[in-house]
Each structure stands twice: as structure tokens, then as C-alpha cells.
Amino acid sequence: MDNASHISAPITPAAKQHATALLANPMIRYVLIAESITLLILVFIAVPLKHLAGLPTATKIAGSIHGIVFLYFLWILIRAYSSGLLPWRLCLRLLIGSVIPFGGLFNERWLRTHVSAQDKIQQ
């Protein structure tokens, strides 16, 4: 039994096509990564600065930037779903990952890993 058959959740050809299309569109990947990074900055830098150093401006600035990037991420996610680029389960996974610190980064890596694993299986 080869290593490719040990993928935790086999991905269907249709889901692979959707994930490949997602990864092929750099804007979606960039916004996913940007959303994750702004959330990390907000949670691990701005909030401690607010509570430990008494700088409420840090959360106002980081929160505003994260809010704008998050809304743009939602807009891209809705557009990708409505155009048929992404199935609803993948959209839900991306949405849940976007509200968990490091979740968006794990989702981007998960997509890359599953697409490359499927490419190896099909070869």
C-alpha cells in the first residue's frame, strides 16, 4: 500500500478541481493568508498592547485593518461559491478557519497538500 492511499479524507475529483481552481487564483490565496495574519496581529499583538500597556489605539488600528480584510475575504468567498468555484463544504471550512487563529494558514496548507497528493495519485 503506497503513501498516497493514506490520505485522511479522500478528495473527490470534483473537489480536487475546485481546490485546484482555488489555488490557481492567487487573489483568493493572498486574501486567505492576509486575513490570517491580520487576525494573528490583532489577537497576539494588539490585544496584549491594549490590556498590558494601556494602548487602546492598537486594537482600533489592527481591528479596523482586520475587519476590512475579513469583509473582503467574505466577499471573495461568497463570489467563489456563487460562481461555482467552491463547494459549500469547502466554503464552510474556510469560513470556520478564518475565525480561529492560525486556521486560515492551516486551510491554505491543507488545500495545497490535498491538491498535490491528488496529483501524485493520478499520475
Per-residue pLDDT of the chain (123 residues; tens, 9 = 90+): 444 444 445 556 666 666 666 666 667 778 888 999 999 999 999 999 999 999 999 999 999 999 999 999 999 888 888 887 778 888 888 899 989 989 888 888 877 776 666 556 666
Q: With respect to residue 77, please indicate whether it lies within any of the assigned structural domains.
A: yes
- Number of C-alpha atoms within 13 angstroms, CB side, residue 44? 9
Max Cα–Cα distance, the chain, nearest Å:
58
63: how many CB neighbours lie within 10 A of its CB?
16
Q: With respect to residue 64, please indicate whether it lies within any of the assigned structural domains.
A: yes
Q: Would you state the cell numbers that stand for residue 112, as one nine-digit string?
A: 495545497
Q: With respect to residue 99, please indicate whether it lies within any of the assigned structural domains.
A: yes
Q: With respect to residue 8, please indicate whether it lies within any of the assigned structural domains.
A: no
CB 36 within 8 A of CB 12: no
Q: How many domains does the chain have?
A: 1
Q: Whose grid coordinates read 491554505?
A: 108
Q: With respect to residue 62, please indicate whether it lies within any of the assigned structural domains.
A: yes
Sorted by sequence, the CB contacts under 8 Å of residue 48 that are 6+ apart come out as none
Provide the residue range defining the domain that includes 47: 15-122
Alpha helices in 1-123 (DSSP H): 13-24, 26-41, 47-52, 56-82, 88-98, 103-122
Amino acid symbol at 45? I
Q: With respect to residue 63, please indicate whether it lies within any of the assigned structural domains.
A: yes
pTM exceeds cut of 0.95: no
CB 41 within 8 A of CB 61: no
Q: With respect to residue 83, please indicate whether it lies within any of the assigned structural domains.
A: yes
Q: With respect to residue 84, please indicate whether it lies within any of the assigned structural domains.
A: yes
